[in-house]
Amino acid sequence: MKFTVFCVSGQLTRCIRCPVAYHANDYCIPAGSVTLTDSNIVCPNHFTPRKGCRNHEHVNVSWCFVCSEGGSLLCCESCPAAFHRECLNIDMPEGSWYCNDCRAGKKPHYKEVVWVKVGRYRWWPAEVSNPKDVPENILRMRHDVGEFPVLFFGSNDYLWTYQARVFPYMEGDANSKEKMGKGVDSTYKKALEEAAVRFKELQAEKELRQLQEDRRNHKKPPPYKHIKVNKPIGKVLIISADLSEIPRCNCKATDENPCGMDSECINRMLLYECHPQVCPAGERCQNQCFTKRQYCQVEIFRTLSRGWGLRCVHDIKKGGFVNEYVGEVIDEEECRARIKHAQENNIGNFYMLTLDKDRIIDAGPKGNEARFMNHSCQPNCETQKWTVNGDTRVGLFALTDIPAGTELTFNYNLECLGNGKTVCKCGASNCSGFLGVRPKNNPPSDDKSRKMKKKSQMKRKSQQQVIKEREDECFSCGDGGQVVSCKRPGCPKVYHADCLNLTKRPAGQSWNSLKHGSLTDHKVNSDIINEVHT
C-alpha cells in the first residue's frame, strides 16, 4: 500500500484506515487522532457526526476570510472557512467545495489556539488540548474518532469538538469585531486577553523549536541563482541610453563631496545616477552606486518567526545605499503565469516587485541578497526607483541610522494573493496584522498634534451622545437574522429566539420582565457552562 507522508523525516505513525502518515509526536499528529500503537493511529478523516448532536453540526463563519465582510459566501464543506467568490477570483464551483487548507490536508493540532462555535453562541477562543492532559471526568465524556477537547479561555471549561466547528486563531484576532460581535461581557473580554497572551507564548515556542531544528540540520536558505544585474526574460527589453541623452549635473571635481549625499547634485535630487563619462566630477563622483555596486556588507541569517532574513554587518547612515533589488525582468503575462503556477503548487513565497507599468522584477529564481529582506510595517529601509544609464532600477536605501547587526526590512506594500490574508509577523508597534494592510498610525508627539487629538476626542464624545436605537446582531451569538428586541427604554440589545431557548417570539412586555429580571446575561453564560461541562 502507498502511504501519503505529511512530514519530512523521522519515525512515522500510519492510519490503519487510509494512506496517511505523520511523525509520531504531538506536533505533527492531528488533533482528534486515536492512537492504537506506537506506529498505528486512526486519523480524524474518519469522523462520523452523530445524528441529533448539536455540536456535530457543520457551521461556517458569516464573513469572508479575505476581506472580513459579509454577503453571499462560498463555504468550505470541511471547515468553517467562507469566502467571496470575487475575493478568490474563481468561477462558482459545482457541487462540494473545499478551501485550500482542507485540500492540502491541514488539520487542527494540539497546543493550538482556535476559535470554537458552541451551539448558537458567539465564536469563543480556546486551546486544543491533548486528551492525555485533560481531567479524568472530561476524558470519560463520550467522544468519537476525530473529536478533540478544547479548553475555553476566560471560563476554563472543556468541550469535545471537531474540525468543522473550529478555525485557527491569528495574531490581531483579539481586536476583531467579526469575532466579538456587538455585546462583550467581562468573561469574554478576559477570554480575548488570555487567548492573545497564550497565542504569543505558543508562537514563541514553535519558532524556537523550528530554529533549533534548522540549526541541528544545518539548514541553508532555499536555492536560487545569484546574479549581479537584471536579466530580461522573453520579449522584455533592458533600455540603454545614448551618452548625449544622459543628464549632466553642475558638480565639480574640486567640490568637497562631489555628487555626494550632502551635495546639491541635481541628478541625485531627481534620482538620476551620474554616468562616469558624462559627470563633470569625473572619478570623484559619488553618485554611481548602482553602476559600481557599492553595496553595504550584509549577511543572510535565520530569524525566529519570519524565515530567512538579511542584516547589516556594519553601521549604515540614514540615506545610505544598501543594495539593488535585482532579478529576472518579466512582463505582466509571464507574471500572471508564474503566480498561477505558484498557487497551483502551494508555493507561498513571492519575490516580485513592480519596475514600471510593463515590467516586473522576479527575484525568486534569480537575484541577490536583497531578496532575503523581510517586510516590516515600520521598516528601516525603503525602495527608490532610479534612472541608471537610461533605464529604471530599484535600490534599497536606509530610512534611518542602522547599527551593525540590525535586520534590514522594507514595506512590501503587498497585494494579497490566494484565499486568505498573509499574517504579518514584523512585531512593529504599528503593525497592521496582515501584509498589504495599511499600518496603524503612530501616536502624535508634537503640541499641534496633541491639540488636534484633543479636538477630535471632544468631537467624538459629542457624537457618542447619539445612541443607536437597536443593535443589528444578536447579543448572544453575534450573528444577524430575525431577532427580538428588549422593550426596556434605552436597552439596545437584541437576541435570536433560539439563543434564549424560547419556542416562540414573545409578545407585549413579557420578554422585558424576563430579560431584566430572572434572565440576565449571567444566565445566558451559565447555559453555555452547563453545555460544555466543567
> Do 317 and 231 sit in the same domain of this protein?
yes
> Do 65 and 172 sit in the same domain of this protein?
yes
**Is residue 474, in this structure, part of any structural domain at all?**
no
Per-position DSSP letters for 24-78, written without gaps between them: SSTTTSBTT-EE-SSSEEE-GGG--PPTT-GGGS----SS-TTT---SS-EE-SS
**Is residue 426, in this structure, part of any structural domain at all?**
no
**Is residue 272, in this structure, part of any structural domain at all?**
yes
> Do 91 and 169 sit in the same domain of this protein?
yes
- Position of cell 526590512? 409
Of 211, 245, 267, which closes a domain?
Answer: 211
> Do 199 and 229 sit in the same domain of this protein?
no
Which residue did the predictor score with more confidence, 1 or 269?
Answer: 269
**Does the predicted TM-score (pTM) go above 0.85?**
no
**Is residue 39, in this structure, part of any structural domain at all?**
no
**Is residue 17, in this structure, part of any structural domain at all?**
no
> Do 158 and 255 sit in the same domain of this protein?
no
> Do 256 and 119 sit in the same domain of this protein?
no
**Res 287: pLDDT:** 95
> Do 330 and 293 sit in the same domain of this protein?
yes
**Is residue 511, in this structure, part of any structural domain at all?**
no
> Do 231 and 103 sit in the same domain of this protein?
no
Report yes or no: 84 and 26 within 8 Å, Cβ to Cβ. Answer: no
**Res 464: pLDDT:** 42
Of 211, 233, 259, which closes a domain?
Answer: 211
**Domain assignment of residue 395, given as a range:** 225-410
pLDDT higher than threshold 50 for residue 466: no
- The one-letter amino acid code at 389 reads N
> Do 207 and 235 sit in the same domain of this protein?
no
| pLDDT, tens only, 293-331 | 999 999 998 887 778 899 999 999 999 999 999 999 999
Percent of the chain with pLDDT over 70: 75
Per-position DSSP letters for 372-437, written without gaps between them: GPEE-SS-SEEEEEEEETTEEEEEEEESS-B-TTPBPEE---PPP-SSSPPBP----TT--SBTTS
CA distance 187 to 476: 13
Q: What is the CATH number of the domain that holds 140?
A: 2.30.30.140
**Is residue 477, in this structure, part of any structural domain at all?**
no
Q: What is the CATH number of the domain that holds 253?
A: 2.170.270.10
> Do 134 and 255 sit in the same domain of this protein?
no
**Is residue 234, in this structure, part of any structural domain at all?**
yes
Of 364, 386, 410, which closes a domain?
Answer: 410
CA distance 534 to 526: 11
Per-position DSSP letters for 488-507, written without gaps between them: STT---EE-TGGGT-SS---
| pLDDT, tens only, 158-173 | 999 999 999 999 877 7
**Res 502: pLDDT:** 63
Query: How many domains is the chain partitioned into structurally?
Result: 2
- The one-letter amino acid code at 534 reads T
Considering only CA atoms, which of 141, 86, 81 is closest in space to residue 117? 81
> Do 196 and 318 sit in the same domain of this protein?
no
> Do 285 and 405 sit in the same domain of this protein?
yes
Cα angle, residue 423 at apex, residues 419 and 426 outer, rounded to 5°: 155
pLDDT higher than threshold 80 for residue 104: yes
pLDDT higher than threshold 80 for residue 447: no
